[in-house]
Structure 1
């Protein structure tokens, strides 16, 4: 039976699916709209495994609405056109299937996904696909953003993680993550609200990732 998929969230979302003889399913989700969407993927005629892996591809905004650059999982090129220099070895993002397949789909983006099937694709505990070789915090996307933006970060080792938002005065306005997390690739989608659920005004903010032995901070812009 041919595997099929459905996505919910917006008419701007389109999904395609196919299955492979060794078990996994391949899925492409396209957001043809100008607003970021939270995507929930559902599969028919398919028994999922434990993990799914994905790449998110968007256009850069270095030249206004038109750019010849491509950003894949937060990485791009220093050249005037093209994608990441290491695209042939760029690790996929990974997440557990338990609880459903839910992703952030940036405006005008394509997400390429591989979902474990009843025949396991790989031993995910021992593959470089699932465990990065260093800690890192990626640039959020989209940026500037409204109404939501995604922050990807890579954990080389399991441990306590804190991901927070600060305003330009250094005041903490939102704690996004404050918990123990396993090594791997993680993502948080922020909707621009503070710790009390109130929507923050247009401004430049900073988001900071802190672990036991790693701290990195990046800048983002919220536009209402």
Structure 2
């Protein structure tokens, strides 16, 4: 629940880095699938991506098409994440004015009727189409198709050691949080879902999440 007091938990020793890195076969197959399917996705979305770019430019001819943001990845390594721009150009500079209207608890900012979101951006975000450029991040190896949401630096500053366990694997374009209610799920619940995924992740689990993600793109689950 939003605003709840969270009782600190002990670190889950089952999520040690050495244990995560010892799954050689799974990690090899997962990385191979990431390369193959991200490349395939880039090719499939060339035409839709071009149409999205035209729509963004039509709404704001002087604005940029892509939005680049620094995110925190595996082992807290920073990387540049790419998205289609869904907000006005100065969105990051005015977020401090909106923090009091944050609609989720914990180290994350979400606002259902965010005034920074453009009309085209609202449609893109609702169907998660703004995240298509992240396929390039997957191909490069910054991200995986499935994994925890990549946080912002300002969010990680607020993390407890328990929360930081979600940074023991590569972040993903989609994940258990995204298909489990997304913005209806608070920060602490998101952490628990991420840790559940990390402990139980496997090829079948990843494939199941990808199928659920495709369904959500067609039938949105309150994404904003």
User: Given the two structures, how large is their TM-score scaled by the length of structure 2?
Assistant: 0.26
User: Given the two structures, how large is their TM-score scaled by the length of structure 1?
Assistant: 0.26
Which one scores higher on RCO, CA 8 angstroms, separation ≥ 6? 2
